Amino acid sequence: MGPQALEDLVTALARLPGIGRKTAQRLALFVLKSPPGEASALAEAIQGARERIGHCTLCYNLTESDQPLCRVCRDEGRDRQVICVVEEASDALALERSDLMRGTYHVLGGALSPLDGIGPDDLRITELLERVRRDGVREVILAHNASAEGEATAEYIHQRLDSMTRVTRLARGLPAGSDLDLADRTTLAHALQGRTTF
């Protein structure tokens, strides 16, 4: 139908998560209509990100390739004896945006999921235990997704950390601005179980 180069671009874009062929075609046609400089900028940003971003050797968060430690781990003001354990780098980014975390991170690289064949050895759990042991960590905050996989991973890490350090987890309950009558049963159960004195 269309030119081959257009088909190629649509196919490449449709590999992105959440982008179907229809959206991919819309994006491709937008790229064709945009000024040449902008299309080049996008192409270079994709290439550049792949080349210039690596993983922090301490916490496995994203970092510039020429920097072995990420911004958080380089920051002298951050408390290295508090480690917030997250599944993915995007979770660390979300917490950084909130500007609430004064500790450091540890990016596991996923969650335990036997159905997908992801076991403890596929996550950076040994590295976490090593950090806790070596750096005299005071607190490990488990900041997993509120999913079955997240729960299972938190449970597993809690067991492995045993009594090495204090282990906490994020609170469960009603999200800010939500209607109680629209909350699901599990959320209500967490909100009730975790109720605090007024």
Give the residues lining the site for a second copy (CB under 8 A).
1-6, 8-9, 11-13, 15-19, 23, 25-32, 34, 36, 38-53, 62-64, 70-71, 88-90, 93, 96-97
CB of 88 to a second copy, least distance (A): 7
Distance CA 99, CA 68 (A): 23
Question: For residues 32 and 148, which CB has a smaller minimum distance to a second copy in the complex?
Answer: 32
CB of 162 to a second copy, least distance (A): 31
* Residue in this structure with the two tokens 């109720």, named with its chain if needed: 195
Which two structure tokens, joined as six digits, stand for 126?
Answer: 């040994």
Q: Cβ contacts of residue 194 below 8 Å, gap of 6+? A: 171, 172, 173
Question: For residues 49 and 164, which CB has a smaller minimum distance to a second copy in the complex?
Answer: 49
Question: For residues 29 and 188, which CB has a smaller minimum distance to a second copy in the complex?
Answer: 29
Question: For residues 37 and 136, which CB has a smaller minimum distance to a second copy in the complex?
Answer: 37
Distance CA 125, CA 123 (A): 6
CB of 145 to a second copy, least distance (A): 14
CB of 156 to a second copy, least distance (A): 23
Hey, what amino acid is at 171? A
HSE of 68, CA atoms in CB hemisphere, 13 A? 2
CB of 84 to a second copy, least distance (A): 15
Question: For residues 61 and 153, which CB has a smaller minimum distance to a second copy in the complex?
Answer: 61
Give, as one character, the DSSP assignment of residue 175. Answer: P
CB of 148 to a second copy, least distance (A): 21
Distance CA 2, CA 41 (A): 24
Question: For residues 5 and 146, which CB has a smaller minimum distance to a second copy in the complex?
Answer: 5
In terms of phi and psi (left: phi > 0; alpha: psi -120 to 50; beta: otherwise), the region of 54 is beta
Q: Is the dihedral of CA 152, 122, 116, 93 positive or negative?
A: positive
